[in-house]
Chains A and B, each alone.
Chain A
Amino acid sequence: MSVEFAVSAVRTTIKAGTPLLMGTLGEIYTERSGVLNLGVEGMMIMGAITAFSVTANTNDPWLGVVLAAMVGGVFSLIHAFTSITLRANQIVSGLALTMLGLGLSGLLGKPYVGMTIKRIKETQLPFIGDIPVLGPMLFRHDPLVYISMALVPFMWFILFKTKAGINIRSVGENPAAADSLGVNVFMTRYICVFVGGVLSGLAGAYLSVVYTPAWIEGMTAGRGWIVIALTIFSMWSPTRALMGAYLFGGVSAIQFNLQPLGVSVNILNMLPYIATVVALLVGTRETVRKRIGAPSALGLPYSREEK
């Protein structure tokens, strides 16, 4: 294998992994606070259409990205409201969010099919970008890739080393205990769901203005579900999410390299989804969940009166 091949493989891996990483980081916060949001796919595609349409109309991809994050966040608040305030079934509410997002984005996206837009350019980082091999592999990407990478240690630090983080984790593990110690369970959960929405929106924006700068209906293509699986796979830790996202990114990127070797395209296309199904199967078994440290109150609405 040549050096160029390795460089290009790593580059495609990182590109394919970035939206997964963003989504997973967000879902980790959401689930750490005890809320299961299966609406990632919906929030992601809402982010994608927002970013694309804003960029198409204003010719400013960054405005598109920022608004996509906001739309993802606002969209997630629907789920926050039903699952936290109304204490509805989180699975149903999350699925509804996904369906709503897919449908709404298809409708809003009709005029944009086939359009091209200005995309976000790659920026080479000073100095480290000049390192041979490693430079082009890691440090000649678009800014969103760097942002997602920087988010990993940042979000890890918040979650494990700060007061906000211990509050988030306690709310997801034992909301009654957290409540009795003066932690605002509802506010914490709202914020975490919102963070999840913002990052899912960002992931969608990455898809439509960087990864494939075009609008295609349903272009998230199940990445929201991969994110759900990755959240379990990473055992709710931002650092493991980085590895998981790039691993899954690598699996989907590698198909371009394996195709010439005669491996069926269809099988390769299935790989990330098969991995998702496996992760979900393993991760939803009660005994496994306890062992890998799933938040104990995940998916359970909290109310003060019920004991």
Chain B
Amino acid sequence: MINEELAVKMVGITKRFPGVIANNNINFEVKRGEIHSLLGENGAGKTTLMNILYGLYAMDKGEIYIYGEKVDIGSPKDAIKLGIGMIHQHFTLVPPFTVTENIILGYEGNNLILKTDEAEKRIMELAEKYGFEVDPRKKVMYLSVGEQQRVEILKALYRGAKILILDEPTSVLTPPETKQLFNILRRMADEGKSVIFISHKLDEVMEISDRITVLRKGKVVSTVSKDETSKRELAKMMVGREVIFLLSRPEVEVGEIVLDVQGLFVLDDRGLTAVKNVYLNVRRGEILGIAGVAGNGQKELAEAIVGVRKALKGKIFVEGKNVTNRPPYELMSMGIGYITEDRVGKGLIIDLTVKENLISKVYSAMTRKLFFLDKDLAERYSKWLIKEFDIVAPSPETPAKTLSGGNLQKLLLARELAIEPTLLVASQPTRGLDVGATEYIRERLLEQKKRGTAILLISEDLEEILGLSDRVAVMYEGEIMGVLPVKDANIEDIGLMMAGAKRLNR
């Protein structure tokens, strides 16, 4: 029921951050009852534009009209009053609170004394109307990520949102959950609400949108109707050049087993079993992909293998040697490389310089005369890696924290690959990176494979897993739901396994 009436009209929006123009004279319109996607790479300015609409950022220039009326949105409060709701990538929920408590928190219409029963009733009505399933009395900490997202949406609807902004809502969902979300969004659009869908995933954009606006480097490339465009065309607009979707996987002779995990159990930070009875092996020259929604034990599995988390039960062999619960430095000297998913928090020491980060794994080799560092050697070593890995940094003395996300990842990759690992554990190696950096990282991984490294690739990005791996293992709630050669894998099956709905016999 798309109506020609405009719900949102943003004219000439400009927003500068120190050093960059995040939004450069952007015009953006959303009709009533339509699902409008904002497509673009990371850093294209999608989220900035929507944060302006939601009152989180003040724009430097431009005008906003909501249902034809010029408005001044100074804070999220103003936006909510105008009927705008926004679901952020990081949920703003209070985990120990119930669904109802989360929804009524901060709501203007509350009396001094909470009327939880009334609120519950209204929530149930809303949920029914849009086809949600929620238990308003359940605590949010016990909900799955998909359910938590639905609470966020309900929160916006409860406040009377007529324009709903979703920032990369599918990045945390399994394929079936995504389908459910799309059903809800479609129903809302049919009701006459407007949905703005921020994404960089082409498939989803093509599936859900009525119209699509592509942003690149803070500017609008074009607004197109879904029926008049294609995935390929959108990709070109988004990146500014043709993208090769399929990586050419080198044919490599797979060798003997390098990593052998037998019946592994690992606890997470809360002391709960995160990895349950996992059996895995990776061979020389092979990439084993671990698919699964984040938080299903992948992180704990990786950490146990590289020795930074204790294995509760089970054994880990590297090149035939039992390395279960050996200290990380011992594993490191055996040639195990680790690309952690938390590159800023755990992978790098971002307050140190690029050089100091690069030599942090090999500093004993850089030592000369007792314990003095060989400065020249360190300098040459880091300069070589900066060049070799195409890291954009003014000098080796640059503090790592000034680097962009893609360059930080290259820095981490350089440090780990420089030791020529026999086993590489790569956890979410391209998460949050733009297309260019992603391509680069993937190529380097394939290059390692060619060199004969055994690679354990953990990723939420199915396309990445299917594109790079030789075999795929799917993890769900700490268990391996199945391992299968990538040529036998199809997205539906893997999706079902990711959601715990299917299991292959081992």
Interface residues of A, Cβ cutoff 8 Å to B:
161-167, 169-170, 173-174, 176-178, 180-183, 286-287, 290, 293, 296
Interface centre among A164, A181, A287, A296 (most CB of B within 10 A): A181
- Chain A nearest CB from B158 CB (Å) reads 11
- Chain A nearest CB from B224 CB (Å) reads 32
Closest to B107 in A: A181
Q: Specify which chain A residues have a CB less than 8 angstroms from the CB of B77 in the assembled complex.
A: 182
Q: Specify which chain A residues have a CB less than 8 angstroms from the CB of B111 in the assembled complex.
A: 163
**Which of A162, A178, A293 is close to B105, meaning CB atoms less than 8 Å apart?**
A178
CB-based contact A290/B92 at 8 Å? no
Bound state CA distance, A165 and B101, in angstroms? 11
CB-based contact A166/B104 at 8 Å? yes
Interface residues of B, Cβ cutoff 8 Å to A:
75-77, 80, 88, 91-97, 101, 104-108, 110-114, 269-271
- Chain A nearest CB from B318 CB (Å) reads 30
**Which of A165, A176, A296 is close to B92, meaning CB atoms less than 8 Å apart?**
A176
**Which of B80, B93, B110, B269 is close to A177, meaning CB atoms less than 8 Å apart?**
B93
CB-based contact B112/A173 at 8 Å? no
- Chain A nearest CB from B403 CB (Å) reads 18
CB-based contact A170/B270 at 8 Å? no
- Chain B nearest CB from A64 CB (Å) reads 33
CB-based contact A170/B94 at 8 Å? yes
Q: Specify which chain A residues have a CB less than 8 angstroms from the CB of B107 in the assembled complex.
A: 181
CB-based contact A182/B97 at 8 Å? no
- Chain A nearest CB from B83 CB (Å) reads 16
Bound state CA distance, A167 and B101, in angstroms? 10
Extra pairs beyond A163-B114, A181-B76, A181-B105 (4, CB < 8 Å): A163-B113, A173-B96, A177-B91, A183-B105
Bound state CA distance, A136 and B96, in angstroms? 41
Q: Specify which chain A residues have a CB less than 8 angstroms from the CB of B93 in the assembled complex.
A: 174, 177
CB-based contact B97/A170 at 8 Å? yes
Q: Specify which chain B residues have a CB less than 8 angstroms from the CB of A165 in the assembled complex.
A: 114
User: Do A180 and B95 form a contact, CB below 8 Å, given A163-B114, A164-B112, A166-B101?
Assistant: no
Q: Specify which chain A residues have a CB less than 8 angstroms from the CB of B96 in the assembled complex.
A: 173, 293, 296
CB-based contact B106/A167 at 8 Å? yes
- Chain B nearest CB from A290 CB (Å) reads 6
- Chain A nearest CB from B123 CB (Å) reads 15
Interface centre among A162, A173, A174 (most CB of B within 10 A): A174
CB-based contact A182/B114 at 8 Å? no
A selection of 16 A-B contacts at a CB cut-off of 8 Å is A162-B112, A163-B113, A166-B104, A170-B105, A173-B94, A173-B96, A173-B97, A174-B93, A177-B91, A177-B92, A177-B105, A178-B94, A182-B75, A183-B105, A287-B271, A296-B95
Q: Specify which chain B residues have a CB less than 8 angstroms from the CB of A163 in the assembled complex.
A: 110-114
Q: Specify which chain A residues have a CB less than 8 angstroms from the CB of B106 in the assembled complex.
A: 167, 170, 178, 181-183
Bound state CA distance, A204 and B108, in angstroms? 39
Closest to B91 in A: A177
Q: Specify which chain B residues have a CB less than 8 angstroms from the CB of A162 in the assembled complex.
A: 112-114
Bound state CA distance, A177 and B111, in angstroms? 20
CB-based contact A177/B114 at 8 Å? no
Q: Specify which chain B residues have a CB less than 8 angstroms from the CB of A169 in the assembled complex.
A: 94, 97
**Which of B95, B104, B108 is close to A174, meaning CB atoms less than 8 Å apart?**
B95
CB-based contact B105/A173 at 8 Å? no
Bound state CA distance, A164 and B111, in angstroms? 10
Bound state CA distance, A293 and B97, in angstroms? 11
Bound state CA distance, A247 and B214, in angstroms? 65
Q: Specify which chain B residues have a CB less than 8 angstroms from the CB of A286 in the assembled complex.
A: 269
- Chain B nearest CB from A295 CB (Å) reads 9
Q: Specify which chain A residues have a CB less than 8 angstroms from the CB of B75 in the assembled complex.
A: 182
Q: Specify which chain A residues have a CB less than 8 angstroms from the CB of B110 in the assembled complex.
A: 163
Bound state CA distance, A285 and B43, in angstroms? 40
Q: Specify which chain B residues have a CB less than 8 angstroms from the CB of A170 in the assembled complex.
A: 94, 97, 105-106
Q: Specify which chain A residues have a CB less than 8 angstroms from the CB of B101 in the assembled complex.
A: 166
- Chain A nearest CB from B78 CB (Å) reads 10
Q: Specify which chain B residues have a CB less than 8 angstroms from the CB of A287 in the assembled complex.
A: 269-271
Q: Specify which chain A residues have a CB less than 8 angstroms from the CB of B114 in the assembled complex.
A: 161-163, 165-166
CB-based contact A180/B76 at 8 Å? yes
Bound state CA distance, A167 and B108, in angstroms? 12
Q: Specify which chain B residues have a CB less than 8 angstroms from the CB of A293 in the assembled complex.
A: 96
Bound state CA distance, A173 and B88, in angstroms? 18
Nearest 9 CB-CB pairings of A with B: A181-B106, A177-B92, A287-B271, A173-B94, A174-B94, A180-B92, A182-B106, A163-B110, A170-B94
Closest to A157 in B: B113
Bound state CA distance, A115 and B112, in angstroms? 47
Q: Specify which chain A residues have a CB less than 8 angstroms from the CB of B105 in the assembled complex.
A: 166-167, 170, 177-178, 181, 183
Q: Specify which chain B residues have a CB less than 8 angstroms from the CB of A176 in the assembled complex.
A: 92
Q: Specify which chain B residues have a CB less than 8 angstroms from the CB of A296 in the assembled complex.
A: 95-96
Bound state CA distance, A180 and B106, in angstroms? 9
- Chain B nearest CB from A217 CB (Å) reads 42
Bound state CA distance, A169 and B95, in angstroms? 11
Q: Specify which chain B residues have a CB less than 8 angstroms from the CB of A182 in the assembled complex.
A: 75-77, 80, 106, 108
Q: Specify which chain B residues have a CB less than 8 angstroms from the CB of A181 in the assembled complex.
A: 76, 92, 105-107
- Chain A nearest CB from B19 CB (Å) reads 17
Bound state CA distance, A164 and B93, in angstroms? 18
Bound state CA distance, A176 and B113, in angstroms? 23
Bound state CA distance, A286 and B111, in angstroms? 36
Closest to A293 in B: B96
Bound state CA distance, A198 and B101, in angstroms? 29
Interface centre among B77, B96, B110 (most CB of A within 10 A): B96
Interface centre among B76, B88, B104, B113 (most CB of A within 10 A): B113
Bound state CA distance, A166 and B116, in angstroms? 11
Closest to A295 in B: B96
- Chain A nearest CB from B387 CB (Å) reads 33
- Chain A nearest CB from B100 CB (Å) reads 10
Q: Specify which chain B residues have a CB less than 8 angstroms from the CB of A167 in the assembled complex.
A: 105-106
Q: Specify which chain A residues have a CB less than 8 angstroms from the CB of B92 in the assembled complex.
A: 174, 176-177, 180-181
Bound state CA distance, A181 and B77, in angstroms? 8
Bound state CA distance, A286 and B96, in angstroms? 16
- Chain B nearest CB from A113 CB (Å) reads 47
Interface centre among A162, A169, A177, A182 (most CB of B within 10 A): A177
Bound state CA distance, A296 and B93, in angstroms? 12
Bound state CA distance, A170 and B105, in angstroms? 8
Bound state CA distance, A287 and B105, in angstroms? 27
- Chain B nearest CB from A180 CB (Å) reads 5
- Chain A nearest CB from B76 CB (Å) reads 6
